[in-house]
Chains A and B, each alone.
Chain A
């Protein structure tokens, strides 16, 4: 057997040099350079071109710090909401058969397909001063549009199906015998869920949360519609970048861009790690 396989590899080695391989690889890399790699690199090159002190100075600007904090907070809240909803919806869609299930599935999955500006505009129409629900708020002291709540609502909307999308397949693959086993051992449905189902969904939940968070923290289109883009009030990090750049303050924009890019890289790496685990 060993002889046979070594012979085989010898045959492989003797194969003629294949020009298509290096050509193909170089083509992909060359195409990616101006499209992806160079733009990303330029953020860092420009950001640090005047030295790290300039970068730090731009970073500690209160408005910049505020925008980062606001982004982190709104994204976190949206993530928690959508993970909780994702688990609930995954449970309902997996465990129960009912009329209109496929229609509900489409509605749940729809939001990512809608342009973010449209999503923001839709929220404005609902909650704004003349909106369907907003007109009732008008009479009270409550206000949703142009507040932090609006940013969270926008984030929830645009990331709605992401957590569901990773949790639902995991639940679908879950061995229902385990729930039966827990039940025969005396567990209530909640206990079976809490101790048996939920731990098995952990990787899927974390992956879904990371995806939601990554998408939320960079959200621009819907946020700019509903937040009012007020500095130190409703200006998230992406809006800050845009506003600084418009004012000609490229360095300030660049500093925050670097921070956002680094956060995204970090989340992306985590997602890759957990995706691998999910596939196991």
Chain B
């Protein structure tokens, strides 16, 4: 069942180069569903990984990302759905017949084998003769720069070295896809950053498709050509890191990748009545389907997209949210974090309808609503702010979402 072994080896591999010309996605996951007992772990998850591309499955623990990886690897069977690897349906195949390379969380290096034996294991199983095997192992050891450690047992290596061995071991038999299962979480931060860069370069050169599993957004941003966000077994959004960050389709995506302010409310007479008790003018964008009064909406925006101005009422930004009072200013190095409490009093006499104070009854119910903002050093110096200052809040970018689901 295994593909014919092409023995021209790394770094420039024919097999990978050939595959890269195909238009079809290298790996395709279609409508995967998986239950453990009553609990639904994966709910109709579909995505593609193009040839030579890396996709990061990002999600909190319990989101189903590890199960997805194990299903692709053949270590778990889906209840329904398909896994297609280079136009070959593989979901019914045993793990050993799939020709995938898995880099496990704790590397799962074989403790009783030397580094060289670990790397050569896949080839040994495939019946590759010892001499050929040694050639490949040598080349891979060279690649990961561990030639002098070849006869050591894995436990004598550092975490970073172990991970490089795990990668070399997976690459040795030229898998059709590489699957990284939280492969960086056990490393110290310094090693992690260095290794990520190395792996990214390596993947670019080999053009082997890769799937990373992680809960670390920084890692996702750095490693992924595309990022897929999983939450409670559902795929929330898939796209380039820029798309996901700048144009989140759900509140979960916005808050999981980066931080975001979420103002919830409902549509009322062409305004948005926030749950905190007061009204803001909705942004200009129109919905395709007309919106009814009482329908739930959310305004989502990132802290760095907030423009603060001491000139009250002047909208320097595309969307003027309202007025607020500075409650906290915190210097964090590269940026300044400013917390603003939304004010519900009409601060702009010229256009009083924009931020509307409502009946006292409602006002009494109003809860405090805080907005997190980040300013550049430049802005911080230009417009100095201190707690108690009144500011007008403009948004350079925002997202208006309908519905109340996360």
Contacts and interface: CB of A to CB of B under 8 A. Distances in A.
Given A175-B108, A178-B110, A199-B112, A186 B75 contact: no
A103 B261 CA distance: 59
Contact of B2 (A177, A178, A186): A186
Interface in A21-72: none
A184 B111 contact: no
B95 A183 contact: yes
Contacts of A196: 110, 112
Given A199-B112, A200-B111, A202-B112, A185 B104 contact: no
Nearest to B98: A184
Size class of the contact patch on chain B: 20 to 34
A186 B101 CA distance: 10
Contacts of A180: 73, 75, 95, 102, 104, 108
B108 A187 contact: no
A273 interface: no
B393 to A, nearest CB: 50
Interface string A102-136: 00000000000000000000000000000000000
Given A177-B104, A180-B95, A180-B104, A186 B110 contact: no
B169 interface: yes
A184 B110 contact: no
A225 B63 CA distance: 64
B100 interface: yes
A195 to B, nearest CB: 7
Given A180-B95, A180-B104, A186 B122 contact: yes
A191 B391 CA distance: 70
B75 A195 contact: no
A186 B112 contact: no
A198 B106 CA distance: 20
A184 B180 CA distance: 13
Interface string B71-103: 001110000000000000000001111111110
B363 to A, nearest CB: 59
Given A191-B125, A195-B121, A183 B110 contact: no
A181 B125 CA distance: 13
Given A177-B104, A181-B104, A195-B121, A186 B126 contact: yes
B96 A200 contact: no
B121 A185 contact: yes
B75 A184 contact: yes
Interface in A163-200: 175, 177-178, 180-188, 191, 195-196, 199-200
* Residue from B94, B96, B101 having most chain A Cβ neighbours under 10 A: B96
A93 B134 CA distance: 38
A178 B108 CA distance: 5
Contacts of B97: 186
Contacts of B122: 185-186
Contacts of B100: 184
Nearest to B127: A186
Nearest to B73: A184
Interface of B: 2, 73-75, 94-102, 104-106, 108-113, 121-122, 124-126, 169-170, 173
Given A184-B101, A195-B110, 12 more contacts: A175-B106, A177-B105, A177-B108, A182-B121, A182-B125, A183-B74, A183-B95, A184-B102, A185-B121, A191-B125, A195-B113, A200-B111
Interface of A: 175, 177-178, 180-188, 191, 195-196, 199-200, 202
> 10 closest pairs, A vs B, by CB?
A199-B112, A181-B108, A185-B122, A177-B108, A183-B95, A186-B125, A184-B102, A186-B96, A187-B125, A184-B95
7 contacts: A181-B104, A183-B95, A184-B73, A186-B97, A186-B125, A186-B126, A199-B112
